[in-house]
Amino acid sequence: MLLPQPVVAEVQYGLARLRRSKKREWLTRRFRVFLGELPRAAWTDDVSRMFGSIKAELERAGTRLEDMDLAIAAHALARDATLVSDNTAHMSRIPGLRIENWRT
């Protein structure tokens, strides 16, 4: 299991948006533990090519997604991996992407 860098960025953004509090400190500590346990999936040239291809294909179909969602999906597709996400409504629009929702 690999953690795509865009996921790290999204969580860091969410933490930064929280007001300073005990909860923010606790979540930040938990996230650091999580980061220490999972290796990252690097953003490679293959990921960039996949990102561009997916974005163009979805735009032609009139179906746009947020760039971070596309970046996360591009990581999975470039590695021929299954994406684990609760965001199945958006991610299912991406052709060829295998998705598992572990929350349900």
Say which CATH class 45-100 falls into.
Answer: alpha beta
What pLDDT is attached to residue 104? 72
For the chain, domain boundaries = 3-41, 45-100
CB-CB contact of 29 with 15 (8 Å): no
Reading the chain (104 residues) residue by residue, the pLDDT tens digits are 889 999 999 999 999 999 999 999 999 999 999 999 999 999 999 999 999 999 999 999 999 899 999 999 999 999 999 999 998 988 999 999 999 999 87
pTM recorded for the entire structure: 0.85
- Beta-bridge partners for 73: none
| Token pair 């690999």 in the structure block, residue | 2
What was the pLDDT predicted at 82? 95
Give the amino acid at 85. S
Provide the pLDDT for residue 12.
Answer: 96
**pLDDT in the model for residue 58:** 94
2 in Cβ contact with 81 (< 8 Å):
yes
In angstroms, the CA 52 to CA 48 distance is 6
